[in-house]
């Protein structure tokens, strides 16, 4: 087997014959003697002529190309249950792995199924009505359902990404996610995929319970084994020897519950800042060096700058996307971004955030492990206090950096609306200063980025969890709490859809040993 790279102009999709020719050249054989050829990666290169670069695998005569085979799902009716709290990427992929292992997932999800959830999200955007159980973070598919659906993970140590991507394709995602260097699905396609995952789990004997907000977890002995009784606000309770806790970074009540039980928790650094929204045409102009043409993918960007020893970086960039209110309770303003599969809105948005560590907020020391959670919440409340609504305090970018009030705001994709505000005053001083320095530096990396045609809006604060639930690296359980498996972004072991899904798989494999 040989791996090699080839490149073609962006509008040209290589044919099978062209791939065979290239493979023949690489292997030193005639094209018809190439046993197999396939594209394993495709990445856009806009440095000179706009190209797609392809990584190709080719098999010489007598060889084969090894394929990844997804393990089959078993029928788990009557099998030992595992309770999975939270139906986000971590909970869903943990459940799918449980099916593969012959265990019966029982998913308890506080939110609604994806269709009912859509109505709550419409009410949030249009009437500013916040349903604390059904919003951009809570409900079927978790925070990943109405998102850009980017599928990157920086670490390959977390597990085999193919298990996640192959399943997403099997449930309806485009095959391009298997090869694209920066794969994404889009919020128009994700709900259907999430629904099919549920149907698969239920068809194989698993259970889904919506509207089941978990409020208590009690260990008990069933005579032979230690087990868990999980109680919900509805009054229902469920029992199992293993419980996977995959409640996401916004489930503050779960952290409070842990603290009330005296169970271990840790404070964890996270990142906070603003959402920057530029015209997508400007980002295309910059990233394609003036060579953008209709039909080319909306340009992305990733920026990072060290300021005072702390990283300031772009987060969850959404090309051709829109801004959304990702609040989970009344009285707060929180922004995030999402895109559809075509990424064809006129805007490009990204979180521009700086790392925040406990040492940055000494005034919050009194909150112990909740220091950063309280800090996070206080900034979200400060934004709300200014607008007294879900509208976001906003400024033009250059004005923000110069501490100058803006004269009118450009149009924004944020449906609840933007309010002209001294955002430079509303953000914590150290956050503002780091962002200010970074924005100017970003213009050196992307000439034209630093412009008053861009809007900055507050606040991007749900980048990751500000609390960690410790887990034993051997058993994957909370130390001292046998059978309780913290998992995904909320437990502090993942950030993003794919890493949360991979963590779910890892934890499910551990849970089946009980």
Ligand X SMILES: Cc1cc2nc3c(=O)[nH]c(=O)nc-3n(C[C@H](O)[C@H](O)[C@H](O)COP(=O)(O)OP(=O)(O)OC[C@H]3O[C@@H](n4cnc5c(N)ncnc54)[C@H](O)[C@@H]3O)c2cc1C
The binding site for ligand X (CB under 6 A) comprises 85-91, 108-111, 136-139, 142-144, 146-150, 212-214, 246-248, 251, 254, 316, 324, 326, 336, 338, 488-490, 494-497, 500
Least distance between ligand X and beta carbon 496 (Å): 3
Measured CA to CA, the distance from residue 210 to residue 239 in angstroms comes to 17
Measured CA to CA, the distance from residue 22 to residue 16 in angstroms comes to 10
Task: For residue 310, list its beta bridge partners.
Answer: 307
For the record, the structure tokens of 224 come out as 């032979």
Least distance between ligand X and beta carbon 419 (Å): 21
Cβ proximity to ligand X: between 91 and 358 the closer is: 91
Least distance between ligand X and beta carbon 187 (Å): 8
Residues 11 and 49 sit within 8 Å (Cβ to Cβ): no
Least distance between ligand X and beta carbon 60 (Å): 38
Least distance between ligand X and beta carbon 398 (Å): 27
Residue appearing with tokens 């791939």: 19
Cβ proximity to ligand X: between 23 and 245 the closer is: 245
Q: Sign of torsion, CA 263 269 275 281?
A: negative
Cis peptide before 140 (omega within 30 of 0): no
Least distance between ligand X and beta carbon 262 (Å): 19
Tell how far CA 16 is from the center of its chain: 35
Measured CA to CA, the distance from residue 391 to residue 444 in angstroms comes to 32
Cβ proximity to ligand X: between 257 and 430 the closer is: 257
Least distance between ligand X and beta carbon 258 (Å): 11
Cβ proximity to ligand X: between 395 and 498 the closer is: 498
End-to-end CA distance of the chain: 41
Cα separations in angstroms, 283 against 11, 288, 346: 20, 8, 10
Measured CA to CA, the distance from residue 113 to residue 97 in angstroms comes to 21
Least distance between ligand X and beta carbon 407 (Å): 30
Cβ proximity to ligand X: between 54 and 136 the closer is: 136
Cβ proximity to ligand X: between 115 and 447 the closer is: 115
3-state secondary structure of 366: helix
Cβ proximity to ligand X: between 57 and 153 the closer is: 153
Closest to 85 in 3D by CA, of 115, 107, 103: 107
Least distance between ligand X and beta carbon 104 (Å): 18
Residue appearing with tokens 């907000």: 213
Cβ proximity to ligand X: between 43 and 231 the closer is: 231
Least distance between ligand X and beta carbon 77 (Å): 24
Cβ proximity to ligand X: between 75 and 160 the closer is: 160
Cβ proximity to ligand X: between 1 and 119 the closer is: 119
Residues 460 and 394 sit within 8 Å (Cβ to Cβ): no
Residue appearing with tokens 């990233």: 287
Establish how many alpha carbons lie within 13 A of residue 314's alpha carbon, considering only the half-sphere containing its beta carbon: 21
Cβ proximity to ligand X: between 166 and 252 the closer is: 252
Strands 418-420, 335-339: parallel, antiparallel or unpaired by DSSP? unpaired
Tell me which H or E stretch contains 430: helix 429-445
For the record, the structure tokens of 144 come out as 């990943």
> Across the beta sheet with 214-221, what order do the strands follow?
214-221, 226-232, 237-240
Strands 104-109, 335-339: parallel, antiparallel or unpaired by DSSP? unpaired
Least distance between ligand X and beta carbon 141 (Å): 7
Measured CA to CA, the distance from residue 350 to residue 275 in angstroms comes to 5
3-state secondary structure 169-233: HHCCCCHHHHCECCCECCCCCHHHHHHHHHHHHHHCCCEEEECCCEEEEEEEECCCCEEEEEEEC
Task: For residue 238, list its beta bridge partners.
Answer: 230
Cβ proximity to ligand X: between 217 and 361 the closer is: 217
3-state secondary structure of 425: helix
Least distance between ligand X and beta carbon 109 (Å): 5
Cβ proximity to ligand X: between 251 and 412 the closer is: 251
Least distance between ligand X and beta carbon 500 (Å): 3
């Amino acid at each position: 087997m040989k791996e090699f790279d080839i490149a073609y102009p962006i509008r040209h999709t290589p044919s099978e014959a062209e791939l065979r020719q290239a493979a023949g050249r690489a292997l030193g054989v005639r094209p018809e003697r190439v046993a197999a050829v396939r594209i394993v990666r495709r990445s856009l290169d806009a440095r000179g002529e706009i190209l797609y670069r392809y990584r190709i695998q080719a098999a010489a005569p007598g060889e084969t190309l090894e394929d990844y085979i997804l393990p089959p799902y078993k029928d788990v009716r009557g099998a030992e249950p595992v309770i999975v709290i939270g139906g986000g990427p971590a909970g869903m992929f943990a459940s799918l792995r449980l099916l593969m292992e012959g265990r019966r997932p029982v998913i308890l999800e506080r939110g609604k199924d994806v269709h009912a959830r859509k109505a709550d999200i419409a009410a949030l955007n249009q009437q500013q009505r916040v349903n604390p159980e059904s919003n951009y973070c809570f409900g079927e598919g978790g925070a990943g359902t109405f998102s850009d659906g980017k599928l990157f993970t920086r670490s390959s140590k977390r597990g085999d990404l193919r298990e996640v991507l192959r399943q997403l394709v099997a449930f309806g995602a485009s095959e391009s996610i298997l090869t694209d260097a920066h794969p994404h699905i889009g919020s128009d396609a994700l709900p259907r995929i999430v629904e099919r995952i549920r149907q698969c789990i239920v068809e194989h004997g698993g259970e889904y319970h919506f509207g089941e907000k978990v409020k208590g977890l009690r260990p008990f002995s069933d005579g032979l084994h230690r087990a868990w009784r999980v109680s919900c606000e509805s009054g229902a309770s469920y029992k199992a020897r293993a419980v996977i806790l995959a409640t996401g970074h916004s489930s503050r009540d779960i952290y409070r519950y842990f603290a009330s039980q005296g169970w271990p928790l840790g404070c964890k650094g996270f990142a906070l800042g603003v959402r920057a929204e530029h015209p997508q045409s400007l980002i295309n102009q910059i990233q394609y060096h003036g060579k953008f043409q209709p039909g080319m993918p909306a340009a992305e960007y990733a920026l990072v700058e060290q300021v005072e020893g702390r990283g300031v970086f772009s987060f969850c960039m959404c090309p051709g996307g829109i801004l959304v209110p990702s609040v989970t309770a009344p009285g707060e303003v929180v922004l995030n971004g999402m895109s559809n599969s075509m990424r064809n809105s006129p805007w490009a948005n990204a979180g521009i955030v700086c790392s925040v560590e406990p040492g940055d907020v000494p005034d919050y020391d009194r909150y112990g492990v909740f220091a950063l959670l309280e800090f996070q919440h206080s900034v979200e409340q400060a934004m709300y206090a200014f607008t007294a609504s879900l509208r976001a305090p906003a400024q033009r970018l250059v004005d923000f950096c110069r501490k100058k009030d803006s004269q009118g705001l450009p149009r924004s994709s944020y449906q609840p609306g933007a309010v002209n505000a001294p955002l430079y005053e509303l953000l914590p001083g150290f956050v503002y200063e780091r962002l200010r320095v970074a924005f100017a530096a970003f213009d050196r990396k992307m000439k034209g980025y630093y412009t008053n045609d861009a809007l900055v809006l507050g606040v991007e604060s749900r980048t990751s969890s500000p609390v960690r639930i410790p887990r034993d690296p051997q058993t994957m359980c909370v130390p001292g709490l046998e059978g309780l498996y913290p998992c995904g972004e909320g437990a502090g072991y993942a950030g993003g859809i794919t890493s949360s899904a991979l963590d779910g798989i890892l934890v499910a494999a551990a849970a089946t040993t009980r």
